[in-house]
Amino acid sequence: MSLNTGIGPRTAVVTGAGSLTGIGFHTATRFAQEGWAVALIDVNAGGLEQAATGVLDQVPGAQVATFVLDVTDAEAVAAVAAAVAASDLPPVGTLCNIAGIPSPAAFLDTSLVEWDRVLAVNLTGPFLLSQAFVPQMIEGGYGRVVNMSSVTAQHGGGVFSKTSYAAAKAGVLGLTRGMARELAEHGITVNAVAPGVVDTDIRVGSDEETERALAAAVPLKRQARPQEIAALFVWLSCEDSAYITGITHSINGGSYIA
Ligand SMILES: NC(=O)c1ccc[n+]([C@@H]2O[C@H](COP(=O)([O-])OP(=O)(O)OC[C@H]3O[C@@H](n4cnc5c(N)ncnc54)[C@H](O)[C@@H]3O)[C@@H](O)[C@H]2O)c1
């Protein structure tokens, strides 16, 4: 049964959807299963095509569009938003800002170039995408923004991603709270999702021992499945979540309890 009963067909815009093992791809697939059209965005063109095929394999007949985009490129973001508006996709109902990169460098070893890139992808990207797509939501009379943060924003990082990632993902929480206040008058909700360790390929180069240590440190003794994070993004995009805004939704197996 679709979670959207009254709003009619809508499009879910999902960034970071171009990895078949990633949270963005699973989120797009779950949206399609719930009857949404999906606009997949990623910087990885090949991955994006595989993702579109992957969604259609699981949900034959789904309406799927792809847009190759670096979320840090302001002009390109505006062009993609215009292309989505001009397409035959239904009105945009939600923007899920999931694209992100890790930063395993220790604080004292982090170059300014790396710092700038980590903030650009993880924080400036959601800012740019939101500015570009929210006007379409206001016009369409329905809107949700769900931003990807991380438990790293809450506890400062540790085994893998470190301080610049923690700063970027903490910035996402401030962005979310500010947008939630300012966009409430339009009926648009803005929330953040803060996962703990999730079983994806984001930790490039991480060995089995590190992965086991990450799981062992979680009270529930396992990593999250990307599908579990996807379900939260979809729920926060649906009508049932209309009275929840500006909140950090922790989904971390108990690894940060506050
Ligand atoms: N996996 C985890 O343990 C975990 C935990 C907490 C938060 N997160 C966050 O979840 C999000 C998704 O991560 P994932 O684990 O699915 O990793 P992933 O590497 O599978 O997916 C990230 C996607 O973002 C894309 N991307 C990277 N830079 C981009 C850019 N500049 N423009 C457009 N797309 C870009 C990549 O190509 C990739 O497809 C990230 O924001 C990550 O920080 C992940």
pLDDT at residue 219, rounded to an integer: 97
Indicate the pLDDT class of residue 3, thresholds 50, 70 and 90.
low
**46: Cβ below 6 Å to ligand 1?**
no
pLDDT-derived band at 203, boundaries 50, 70, 90: confident
Query: Is pLDDT at 1 greater than 50 in this prediction?
Result: no
The verdict on the CB of residue 195 being under 6 Å from ligand 1 is: yes
- pLDDT, average across residues 120-149: 98
Query: Where is average pLDDT lowest: 90-104, 178-192, 195-209, 212-226?
Result: 195-209
pLDDT of residue 210: 87
Confidence check: pLDDT of 237 > 50: yes
The CB of 47 under 6 Å from ligand 1? The reply is yes
Cα 70 to Cα 44, 131, 139, 160, 219, distances in angstroms: 9, 15, 25, 24, 36
pLDDT at residue 239 is higher than 80: yes
- Ligand 1: centre distance to CA 101 (Å): 5
Q: Tell me the best of 23, 69, 150 to mutate to test the pocket of ligand 1, counting ligand atoms within 8 Å of each CB and taking the most.
A: 23
Amino acid at the residue 104: P
CB atoms within 10 A of CB 116: 13
Mean pLDDT of the 171-187 span: 98
% pLDDT > 70, the chain:
97
42 Cβ closer than 6 Å to some ligand 1 atom: yes
Indicate whether 97 pLDDT > 90: yes
Give the Å distance between the CA of 42 and the centre of ligand 1. 10
Angle formed by the axes of helices 23-33 and 45-58, to 10°?
30
Least confident of 4-13, 115-124, 188-197: 4-13
For residue 17, pLDDT beyond 50: yes
Pocket probe for ligand 1: among 68, 198, 248, the residue whose CB has the most ligand atoms within 8 Å is 198
**With a threshold of 0.95, does the pTM exceed it?**
yes
State whether the beta carbon of 191 lies less than 6 angstroms from ligand 1: no
Q: Whose CA is nearest to atom 23 of ligand 1?
A: 16
pLDDT given at position 7? 82
- Average pLDDT for residues 118-134, to the nearest whole number? 98
Q: How does residue 218 score in pLDDT terms, banded at 50, 70 and 90?
A: very high
11-251 belongs to CATH 3.40.50.720: yes
148 CA from centroid of ligand 1 (Å): 9
16 C-alpha to ligand 1 centroid (Å): 6
Which residue's CA lies nearest to atom 36 of ligand 1? Answer: 16
Question: Catalytic residue positions?
Answer: 165
